[in-house]
Amino acid sequence: MDDYASYLAHHGIKGQKWGIRRFQNPDGSLTAEGRKRRGVGGPRQSLRERFASKKNSKTDEEQREELKQYLRDHPKKLPKYSKELTRAEADEIISNIQFDRRLKDIRQQEYDRGLEKIKTATNTMQTIANAFNTGKNVYNAYVDVYNTFGNGKKLTKIGEAKKDDRSAVEKIVRSGSAQDIYDNRSKLTPKELSDAIARLRYEDQLADRLKKK
pLDDT (0 to 100) of residue 82: 78
pLDDT (0 to 100) of residue 50: 60
pLDDT (0 to 100) of residue 176: 82
pLDDT (0 to 100) of residue 10: 66
21 closest CA partner among 31, 11, 35? 31
Q: What is the mean pLDDT of each run of 10 residues along the chain (213 residues)?
A: 63 69 75 75 59 64 82 84 82 88 86 80 76 77 73 68 67 84 81 86 79 67
183 closest CA partner among 196, 198, 202? 196
Is residue 146 within 8 Å of residue 155, measured between CB atoms? yes
pLDDT (0 to 100) of residue 152: 65
Domain-wise residue ranges, the chain: 45-122, 160-208
pTM of this structure: 0.31
pLDDT (0 to 100) of residue 200: 85
pLDDT (0 to 100) of residue 119: 79
pLDDT (0 to 100) of residue 101: 87
pLDDT (0 to 100) of residue 67: 82
Please state, in angstroms and rounded to a whole number, the distance separating the CA atoms of residues 29 and 23: 9
Phi-psi group of 41: left, alpha or beta (phi > 0 → left; psi -120 to 50 → alpha; rest → beta): left
What one-letter code names the amino acid at 142? Y
End-to-end Cα spacing for the chain: 133
